[in-house]
Amino acid sequence: MQERYDIAIVGAGVVGSLIARELSRFPLRTALVERCRDVGQGTTKANSAIVHAGFDAKPGSWKARMNVEGARMMPALCQTLHVPFEQCGSLVVAFAPEELPELDRLLERGRQNGVEGLRLLSAGELRAMEPGVNPGAAGALYAPTGGIVCPFGLAIAAAECAVSNGVELYRNFDVEKIEQSGDFILYAKDGRSMRAAIVINAAGVHADDLARMIGDESFHIRPRRGEYLLLDSAQAGVVKRTVFQCPSKMGKGVLITPTVHSNVLIGPNAVNVEGKDDLSTTDAGLGELREAMRRSVPDFVVSGVITSFTGLRAHCDRDDFILEASARHPRFLHAAGIESPGLTAAPAIAAYMKALTLRALGPEVKAAKTDWLPGRPKPVRLTELSREEQHAVIAENPAYGHIICRCETVSEGEILDAIRAPAGARDVDGVKRRTRAGAGRCQGGFCGAKVVELLSRELKLPMEEITKSGGGSRILVGKTKTGEGDGDDV
């Protein structure tokens, strides 16, 4: 039987998940539809994790409006959802006198956009604030409202909140066709289908593909690849704030930043590509990052790299966010073209899309729920607890006393919580994003096998069906014969 929903949100990245949370306030039947096996699998899981202050976007644009409002909303939202966030501030550095006018331009833009606390720093003030930055730098723009956040953690928390409030999450629902027959009928590649009165297009780099399914060709998304280097926490402290280079026509440039998990992140470069699943890293691209960092922090040795990765930005030919009803149908709503500063803007975009959706529904909307839950229970994180608190949670549940990931001190109890949660983990990387098991120096070399075992047990699946990140990424592929016995998994 074909399920019918009031709303189908296509795309469970940070924007789609936050929209789902906002709409879960109302007694509407809402589906959150994701083409991958987990939420936050697209741009959300591979970006700079920056909360932008809002001085870069063109005044009056959606990017400017949503950025500044989203940055204001972010601290309280992260507190409610128990997501790591730090308002560490950011710097845009001019490395030569001829770049100083760019800082003046950004300062004026920021003031027009309503960014608070912006000020220019002299070379001496910059060195006092960040001693490791290039001593030849001519000055910087300082934005105290800039910050850092865990992007996939925010998406996961929002999805958990939405599901707890009645939203239904569809995994591996890769929409390939949409028909209109009163409602929209969404067909997935695996044969499943659903009906919805309203569709919200939050499909990231695939947003234009989804729009074309209803004959809307009003915008085009071209993926823009960005590569990153993630360094071990031993490098923490090399910078205390996000340090940008002066921007170019391709974006905000290569940055170096602390992360909320005490790592150091370098990137991204910017390369336009055609493939919407091209997540390859290149020697040339990673070398470009290393060279760029020598300009920012000359004495910084790029060692201790624990992983490199690539993200795709949904660069739109309109060069702005698209937050509107499709001209082809008033109940097909776009939240498209969400590239930087999309993470920062996501809370404001979600609030705007909620209002747009309620207007589209009109008199069908009933009063908001009185029992709506704005957050989620605070996850247990052993590393954040005092010794006394650790003893207390272990006494209540001994699984918290069994350490699985030694690099990040993650317990069996924390991993079980991540699997059992609403919108819980279904693969090894899903556990990693929720708990950091496998995110440390050894990148899962010691804990990976145990995580597979726990997933197998909890999901009641054979271990050879457990994947790294969904699809065909199986970790175990068979058995080796050892004499006359049954063999050992490999």
Q: What token pair was written down for 231?
A: 């360094």
Residue 16 CA to residue 32 CA, distance in Å, equals: 8
Name residue 334's amino acid: H
SS (H, E, C) 336-385: ECCCCCHHHHHHHHHHHHHHHHHHHHHHHCCCCCCCCCCCCCCCCCHHHC
Residue 239: C-alpha distances to residues 167, 433, 450 (Å): 41, 24, 35
Decide if 43 contacts 342 (C-beta within 8 A).
yes
Q: What is the CA radius of gyration of the chain?
A: 23
Q: What is the largest CA-CA distance in the chain?
A: 77
Residue 244 CA to residue 256 CA, distance in Å, equals: 7
Catalytic residue from among 52, 206, 261, 315: 52
Residue 333 CA to residue 193 CA, distance in Å, equals: 19
Decide if 447 contacts 410 (C-beta within 8 A).
yes
Decide if 120 contacts 140 (C-beta within 8 A).
yes
Q: What token pair was written down for 116?
A: 């608070």
Q: Is 334 a catalytic residue?
A: no
Residue 122 CA to residue 128 CA, distance in Å, equals: 10
Enzyme catalytic residues: 52
